[in-house]
Amino acid sequence: MNEAAQLHFGRYTHDVELARRIETRLPGDQDWACVAMFYAAMHLMTAYFITKSNVTLDPSSAVHPERKKAMDRCPELKDSRDKYRQLKDLSESVRYDAGFAFGSHHLVQAKAHLARIAAIVEPKLKKRLGMV
Amino acid sequence: MLGWGREPEMQKSTRAKPRSVRPARSSKEGANGALHEQALRRRLSSVDAVRAVFLAADDEGIIHVYSVVPEYDSGFYDELLKQERLVEKEFPHLTFEFHVRAHQGREPARAVPFGSQPLFVR
């Protein structure tokens, strides 16, 4: 169980670094840094859910409502739910809305959302994985 | 890769005709459409920032609800998520996936997947 959580945590750190690389090396494609940030958040959440005995979620599931239900079963993540949702919405606009005009303020928003999610979830996950 | 390949937009691209927004297990029909549609209209229209709502169903029977706002802003999310939760509680047998799209000055329909059905536009 923890091995799977570790794998998702590893993907989370990878995606955080990917977002940083996109932001610094591909300044014209910073919208995709938001997409990497969303997937970072998704893997961090998934890693946490795997460690929770009261949550049943297929970690390979791509169905977002299932992940949302899992989030609803974790009251300790309450303050991260709306940030996750905002990051997901922004990421979807980047991926699917061809007319969406991405601005630097969106990147600021995305970074703030991920930072908040990480501040809430990462310490809890690390504790459950015995990383602290 | 997690999260890829299940988005309604991707599925739509292979469909010649948009699917009905009525799920297999729909709520009862009222004078103004299915009851869940009436609830969505009533609750989401109470959020000032929401200028339009569109619906689409996917192959999994999930009802995708697109609330269109002028621009992304943290200010309206508290109220919007509260209203969305109330709809979910009212129709626990239905599966909703809620989305927010920014019209950024465009017609609201331009910001949502092609074929989505308008629930209300103001």
Structure confidence by residue, pLDDT tens digits, B31-69: 556 999 999 999 999 999 999 999 999 988 999 999 999
Q: Which residue has the tokens 């959302």?
A: A113
C-beta separation of B66 from B99 below 8 A: yes
What are the chain A neighbours of B99 within 8 Å (beta carbons)? 89, 92
B2 compared with A54, residue with greater pLDDT: A54
Nearest to B43 by CA among B90, B87, B77, B73: B87
Q: Nearest CA of chain B to the CA of A83: how many Å?
A: 9
Provide ipTM, 2 decimals: 0.92
Question: What pLDDT, in 10s, does the model give residues A58-114?
Answer: 777 767 788 888 898 899 999 999 999 999 999 999 999 999 999 999 999 999 999
Q: Give the C-alpha separation, B56 to B117, whole Å.
A: 6
Q: Collect all residues with Cβ–Cβ distance below 8 Å to A14 and sequence separation of at least 6.
A: none
Mutate to test the interface with A, among B80, B100, B103, B112 (most CBs of A within 10 A): B100
Q: How far is A119 from chain B, CA to nearest CA, in Å?
A: 18
Model-wide pTM > 0.90: no
Q: Which residues of B touch A (CB under 8 A)?
A: 2-7, 9, 60, 62, 72, 74, 77-78, 81, 95-102, 104, 106, 110-111, 113
How far apart are the C-alpha atoms of A29 and B65, rounded to whole Å?
Answer: 28
Q: Do B3 and A62 touch (CB under 8 A)?
A: yes
| DSSP label at residue B96 | E
- Position B10 scores a pLDDT of 43
pLDDT at A14 over 90: yes
C-beta atoms of A62 and B5 within 8 A: yes
The confidence score (pLDDT) of residue A62 equals 67
- How many inter-chain contacts (A to B, CB under 8 Å) are there? 66
Helix (H) or strand (E) holding B33, with range, is strand B33-34
DSSP 3-state of A46: helix
The pairing of beta strand B52-57 with beta strand B117-121: antiparallel
State how far residue A92 is from chain B, nearest Cα, in angstroms.
8
On average, the pLDDT of chain A sits at: 93
Distance of alpha carbon B91 from the chain centroid: 14
Distance from CA of B50 to the nearest CA of A (A): 14
* Region for residue B71 given its phi and psi (left: phi exceeds 0; alpha: psi -120 to 50; beta: otherwise): beta
DSSP single-letter state for residue A87: H
Nearest Cα to Cα of residue B45 among B37, B33, B36, B53: B53
Instruction: Print burial letters for B90-99: b (CB count within 10 Å at least 16), e (below 16).
Output: ebeebbbbbb
* Yes or no, beta carbons of A97 and B60 under 8 Å apart: no
